[in-house]
């Protein structure tokens, strides 16, 4: 049903733009454009969806095993397995003749497709799709809400699994196992373990949790294609004075960012509200790109979609967007620290989705991994 | 994205192992009259870059530029902070950052006066990358897939050992599954956990929930398990992917027969040639073949079907994963095992 609603919005957008066809690319990482049109969570190989103005959508996959899975899991999607993906889709596009066809994301459109279309060219559908991906329908927002529950439950599993002597990847194994049992298709997750030497989060490195460590994570479960994120930090053992003080700054920054969110403000306004808190504490240096990437971002069919919450991004925030606000950055006293909540933008302000308390969690240092 | 442990493990894949691969590729580049070869990677199309560097991206994408000499260059839009992680898990290349990695590739090519660049799977290269290269240096592009496939087709000992090790992780993990589970997720949850606790980079689990109905593998955990079902583990470890399929039953008599078949396949499969020759198949006594396919690393794909009942193998592969479906004693059995990995493993499995 949600797939049908998206398809209808897509066709309307194509009509408004005067487009006759769309070619959308996807893989397991960048699957949002493809999934918007052809509701399949691709895992291996690559896919291209061809959408025509009359509402016909065909999904072309280059992996036979994925084609088999799509036929069973998404029988409503017309799927074709194409060993020669580029040749097959080129032929399909050629049959559309001299019509207006656009591609998204344009940057990822395979070179072979563009080369074979020659002078006819593909127009750029990236902005058209980005807008649909950012401002969601009611049904999409309900799907986002469903994913939020699992973000909270996932963080509870994470907290309960953290123990002295446990390795970072073992902690992630518990989360992934929990998520898979709950029907979570995917989860974007990075982690940091340690103290002031930790300058960011990364994939697990085999680090062993010890007393005094900060353990940072962002969990981003994906339910029916929609991602929701939560960022929290916990301390192994009792938090020290510096850790408590720094938590207060990040919590103020998060609340300052959330307080600004409403239709009509810009992404820059939210970022500025967060960063002003750091600047007021003499930590302005740590909100630059040297130490942090973004102060939040959009969420939806991609875990890190537009708009990026940065002081130089002037995208206007609209009702129906889903975002995370996270003032995550390095702190010279205690190390990298994360704290963030997901939300939906409503007419009267943010609807906060994640309900895990905003506190500096700690796990008993006597809790030792089995 | 990937979800597991990624480490540089010198004892399993050494710098000199990777260096030897790079040298072989550079020799082929020179022999072909090219100035360099460009290989694209994301975590789905990681195999080319993983082979030439030992690195697999956790998320996002990148390019590896291999010139006639010197260390390859990993060109990425990832931040410098993530770049520190990349360097820590792959000391085999230089890491260079730019929001436009293709442009950076063009600049590096211009620096050596390059005129001819080979691109592995040129047709599949993101068009934006090609435009970026072209904006800096209008170099002549040619498809280098065959060149790469030929070099990559020569397997080395480190890779074969990793295939054995990865298959061993999958084999052990299946022991965590309870074949009397009611639903697929109840069986697969503990199996996936066991794979990840063993330090795997990634694990995908799929189940054909009722072999009396069909042999379609799905990922949904809610499917009720039939009298016999098959589970497929796709495991990545240190850049190597292995698929292993086992068939299970809640009926003890059938289960013990299936267990015997599994052991027989473990003994016989490793020394089968990975050439897709049907005569080489091992089938248990009384078994009747229904279908088969052979997967192997190919180009940028960690595993791709390279031969089946209708399609012969087109080019030699370093090793393979042979999936067979057959009937025996009235039951449908599906199995997948690595083939073409030598007989050391056979002896170990027998022990």
Q: What is the CATH number of the domain that holds B104?
A: 3.40.350.10
Q: Which residues contact A327 (CB under 8 A, 6 or more apart)?
A: A250, A253, A254, A257, A274, A275, A277, A278, A287, A295, A339, A340
Asked if the model's pLDDT at residue B14 lies above 60, the reply is yes
Q: Which of A111, A294, A329 would best serve as a mutation to test chain B binding (most B beta carbons within 10 A)? A: A111
Which residues between 273 and 332 in chain B have a beta carbon less than 8 angstroms from any beta carbon of chain A?
A: 293, 301, 303-305
Of B152, B182, B200, which residue is a domain's last?
B152
Cis-peptide into A242, omega within 30 deg: no
pLDDT, average across residues A147-168: 97
So what's the pLDDT on residue A370?
Answer: 80
Of A133, A158, A188, which residue is a domain's last?
A133
Query: Are residues A279 and A182 part of one domain?
Result: yes
pLDDT digits (tens, 9 = 90+) for A165-199: 999 999 999 999 999 888 898 999 999 999 999 99
* Cα→Cα distances B214→B12, B218, B302, Å: 39, 11, 27
Query: Are residues B62 and B167 part of one domain?
Result: no
pLDDT, average across residues A155-159: 97
Which residues between 189 and 228 in chain A have a beta carbon less than 8 angstroms from any beta carbon of chain B?
A: 189-190, 199-200, 202-206
Chain A residues whose CB is inside 8 A of the B230 CB are none
Asked if the model's pLDDT at residue B351 lies above 50, the reply is no
Query: Are residues A145 and A127 part of one domain?
Result: no
Contact between B5 and A204 using a beta-carbon 8 Å cutoff: yes
* Cα→Cα distances A6→A25, A35, A59, A100, Å: 16, 9, 15, 21
pLDDT class of A85 with cuts at 50, 70, 90: very high
Nearest-by-CA chain A residue for B195? A173
Query: Are residues A142 and A127 part of one domain?
Result: no
pLDDT digits (tens, 9 = 90+) for B15-50: 999 999 999 999 999 999 999 999 999 989 999 999
So what's the pLDDT on residue A1?
Answer: 83
B83 touches chain A (CB under 8 A): no
Contact between A112 and B124 using a beta-carbon 8 Å cutoff: yes
CA angle, A276 then A280 then A286, to 5°:
70
* Angstrom distance (rounded) from CA B141 to CA B47: 21
Asked if the model's pLDDT at residue A73 lies above 90, the reply is no
* Angstrom distance (rounded) from CA A189 to CA A231: 10
ipTM: 0.94
So what's the pLDDT on residue B309?
Answer: 87
The strand pairing partners of B204, in sequence order, are B234
Nearest to A28 among B43, B124, B197 (CB): B43
- Say whether B18 sits in a helix, a strand or coil: helix
pLDDT digits (tens, 9 = 90+) for A204-227: 999 999 999 999 999 999 999 999
Q: How many domains does chain B have?
A: 2
Contact between B193 and A111 using a beta-carbon 8 Å cutoff: no
* Angstrom distance (rounded) from CA B307 to CA B293: 6
pLDDT, average across residues B237-265: 96
Chain A residues whose CB is inside 8 A of the B124 CB are 46, 85-86, 110-112
pLDDT class of B271 with cuts at 50, 70, 90: confident
Chain B residues whose CB is inside 8 A of the A108 CB are 126-128
Which residues between 55 and 74 in chain B have a beta carbon less than 8 angstroms from any beta carbon of chain A?
A: 58-61
CB B125 within 8 Å of CB B43: no
Query: Are residues B188 and B106 part of one domain?
Result: no
**More confident position, A182 or B346:** A182
Nearest to A177 among B79, B85, B189 (CB): B189
Chain B residues whose CB is inside 8 A of the A188 CB are 1, 59
Nearest to A206 among B5, B81, B82 (CB): B5
Query: Are residues A11 and A103 part of one domain?
Result: yes
Nearest to B123 among A27, A30, A110 (CB): A110
Domain range for B79 is 15-152
Domain range for A347 is 138-363
CB A233 within 8 Å of CB A243: no
Query: Are residues A262 and A150 part of one domain?
Result: yes
Of B122, B152, B182, which residue is a domain's last?
B152
Contact between A29 and B185 using a beta-carbon 8 Å cutoff: no
> What DSSP string runs through A184-241?
--EEEEEEEEESTT--S-BS---PBP-TT-EEEEEEEEEETTEE--EEEEEEESS--H
* Angstrom distance (rounded) from CA B106 to CA A356: 47
Of A133, A163, A191, which residue is a domain's last?
A133
So what's the pLDDT on residue B278?
Answer: 62
Query: Are residues B101 and B169 part of one domain?
Result: no
So what's the pLDDT on residue A208?
Answer: 98
Is B10 part of a structural domain of the chain? no
So what's the pLDDT on residue B156?
Answer: 93
Kindly state the greatest CA–CA separation across chain A.
70
Asked if the model's pLDDT at residue B280 lies above 80, the reply is no
Of A133, A165, A199, which residue is a domain's last?
A133
Contact between A43 and B219 using a beta-carbon 8 Å cutoff: yes
Other beta carbons within 10 angstroms of residue B94's beta carbon come to 13
Asked if the model's pLDDT at residue B325 lies above 90, the reply is yes
pLDDT class of A57 with cuts at 50, 70, 90: very high
Q: What is the CATH number of the domain that holds B207?
A: 3.90.230.10
Query: Are residues A311 and A216 part of one domain?
Result: yes
Out of A298-302, A356-360, A366-370, B133-137, least confident range: A366-370
pLDDT class of B346 with cuts at 50, 70, 90: very low
Contact between A111 and B124 using a beta-carbon 8 Å cutoff: yes
Q: How far is B161 from chain A (nearest CA, A)?
A: 22
Is B6 part of a structural domain of the chain? no
Asked if the model's pLDDT at residue B90 lies above 50, the reply is yes
Q: Which residues contact B187 (CB under 8 A, 6 or more apart)?
A: B177, B178, B179, B181, B207, B225, B229, B231, B248
For chain B, give the mean pLDDT.
93
Is A368 part of a structural domain of the chain? no
CB A270 within 8 Å of CB A360: no
Residue A309, judged by CB atoms within 10 A of its CB (0-12, 13-18, 19+), counts as buried
Q: How far is A348 from chain B (nearest CA, A)?
A: 35
Q: Which residues contact A4 (CB under 8 A, 6 or more apart)?
A: none
* Angstrom distance (rounded) from CA B204 to CA A44: 10
Asked if the model's pLDDT at residue B7 lies above 70, the reply is yes
Chain B residues whose CB is inside 8 A of the A369 CB are none
Asked if the model's pLDDT at residue B283 lies above 90, the reply is no
Query: Are residues B339 and B325 part of one domain?
Result: yes
Nearest-by-CA chain A residue for B124? A110
Q: How many domains does chain A have?
A: 2
A118 touches chain B (CB under 8 A): no
Unique residue bearing structure tokens 């994925």: A66
Residue B251, judged by CB atoms within 10 A of its CB (0-12, 13-18, 19+), counts as middle
So what's the pLDDT on residue B275?
Answer: 81
Of B104, B121, B152, which residue is a domain's last?
B152
A177 touches chain B (CB under 8 A): yes
Q: What is the CATH number of the domain that holds A127?
A: 3.40.350.10
Query: Are residues A350 and A220 part of one domain?
Result: yes
So what's the pLDDT on residue B345?
Answer: 47
Query: Are residues B308 and B338 part of one domain?
Result: yes
Nearest-by-CA chain A residue for B4? A169
Q: What is the CATH number of the domain that holds A331?
A: 3.90.230.10
Query: Are residues A322 and A186 part of one domain?
Result: yes
So what's the pLDDT on residue B349?
Answer: 47
* Angstrom distance (rounded) from CA A207 to CA A81: 42
A29 touches chain B (CB under 8 A): yes
Q: Are strands A101-104 and A186-194 parallel, antiparallel or unpaired?
A: unpaired
* Angstrom distance (rounded) from CA A95 to CA A53: 14
So what's the pLDDT on residue A7?
Answer: 96
Which residues between 295 and 354 in chain A have a beta carbon less than 8 angstroms from any beta carbon of chain B?
A: none
pLDDT digits (tens, 9 = 90+) for A98-140: 899 999 999 999 999 999 998 889 999 999 999 999 999 999 9
């Amino acid at each position: 049903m949600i797939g049908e609603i998206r398809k209808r919005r897509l066709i309307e957008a194509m009509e408004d733009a005067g487009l006759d066809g769309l070619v959308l690319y996807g893989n397991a990482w960048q699957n949002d454009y493809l999934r918007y049109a052809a509701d399949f969570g691709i895992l291996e190989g690559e896919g291209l969806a061809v959408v025509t103005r009359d509402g016909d959508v065909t999904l072309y996959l280059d992996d036979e095993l994925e084609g088999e899975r799509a036929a069973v899991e998404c029988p409503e999607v017309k799927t074709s397995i194409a060993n020669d993906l580029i040749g097959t889709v080129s032929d399909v596009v050629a049959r559309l003749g001299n019509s207006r066809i656009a591609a998204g994301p344009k940057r990822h459109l395979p070179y072979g497709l563009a080369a074979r279309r020659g002078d006819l060219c593909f127009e750029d559908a990236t902005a058209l799709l980005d807008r649909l991906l950012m401002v969601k329908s009611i049904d999409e927002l309900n799907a986002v809400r469903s994913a939020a529950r699992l973000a909270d439950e996932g963080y509870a599993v994470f907290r309960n699994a953290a123990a002295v002597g446990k390795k970072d990847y073992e902690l992630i194994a518990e989360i992934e196992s929990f998520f898979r049992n709950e029907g979570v298709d995917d989860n974007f997750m990075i982690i940091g373990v340690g103290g002031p030497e930790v300058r960011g989060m990364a994939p697990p490195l085999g680090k062993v949790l010890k007393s005094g460590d900060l353990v940072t994570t962002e969990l981003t479960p994906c339910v029916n294609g929609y991602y929701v994120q939560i960022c929290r930090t916990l301390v192994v053992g009792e938090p020290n004075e510096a850790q408590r003080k720094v938590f207060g700054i990040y919590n103020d920054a998060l609340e300052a960012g959330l307080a600004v969110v409403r239709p009509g403000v810009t992404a820059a306004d939210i970022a500025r509200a967060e960063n002003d808190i750091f600047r007021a504490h003499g930590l302005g240096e740590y909100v630059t790109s040297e130490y942090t990437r973004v102060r939040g971002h959009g969420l939806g069919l991609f875990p890190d979609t537009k708009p990026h919450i940065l002081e130089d991004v002037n995208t206007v925030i609209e009702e129906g967007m889903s975002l995370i606000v996270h003032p995550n950055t390095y702190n010279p006293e205690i190390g990298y620290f994360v704290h963030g909540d997901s939300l939906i933008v409503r007419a009267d302000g943010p609807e906060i989705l994640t309900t895990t308390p905003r506190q500096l969690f700690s796990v008993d240092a006597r809790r030792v991994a089995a | 994205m990937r979800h597991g442990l990624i480490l540089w493990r010198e004892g399993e894949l050494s710098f000199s192992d990777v260096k030897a691969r790079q040298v072989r590729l550079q020799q082929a580049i020179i022999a072909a009259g090219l100035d360099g070869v460009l290989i694209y990677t994301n975590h789905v199309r990681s195999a080319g870059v993983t082979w030439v560097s030992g690195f697999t991206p956790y998320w996002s994408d990148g390019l590896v530029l291999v010139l006639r000499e010197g260390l390859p260059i990993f060109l990425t839009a990832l931040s410098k902070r993530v770049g520190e992680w990349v360097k820590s898990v792959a000391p085999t290349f230089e890491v260079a950052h730019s929001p436009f990695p293709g442009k950076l590739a063009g600049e590096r090519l211009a620096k050596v006066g390059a005129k001819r660049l080979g691109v592995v799977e040129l047709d599949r290269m993101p068009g934006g990358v090609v435009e970026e290269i072209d904006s800096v240096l209008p170099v002549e592009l040619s498809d280098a897939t065959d060149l790469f496939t030929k070099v990559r087709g020569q397997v080395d000992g480190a890779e074969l050992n990793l295939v054995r090790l990865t298959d061993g992780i999958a084999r052990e993990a299946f022991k965590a599954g309870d074949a009397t589970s009611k639903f697929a997720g109840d069986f697969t949850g503990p199996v996936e956990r066991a794979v990840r606790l063993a330090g795997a980079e990634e694990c995908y689990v799929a189940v054909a929930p009722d072999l009396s109905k069909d042999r379609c593998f799905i990922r949904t955990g809610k499917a009720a398990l039939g009298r016999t079902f098959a589970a497929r583990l796709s495991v990545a470890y240190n850049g190597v992917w292995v698929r292993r399929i086992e068939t299970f039953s809640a009926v003890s008599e059938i289960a013990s027969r299936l267990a015997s078949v599994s052991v027989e396949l473990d003994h016989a499969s490793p020394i089968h040639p990975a050439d897709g020759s049907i005569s080489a198949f091992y089938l248990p006594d009384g078994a009747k073949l229904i279908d088969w396919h052979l997967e192997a690393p190919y180009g940028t794909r960690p595993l791709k079907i390279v031969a089946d009942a209708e399609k012969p193998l087109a080019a030699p592969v370093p090793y393979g994963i042979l999936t067979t479906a057959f009937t025996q004693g009235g039951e449908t059995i599906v199995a997948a095992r690595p083939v073409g990995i030598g007989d050391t493993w056979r002896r170990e499995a027998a022990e």
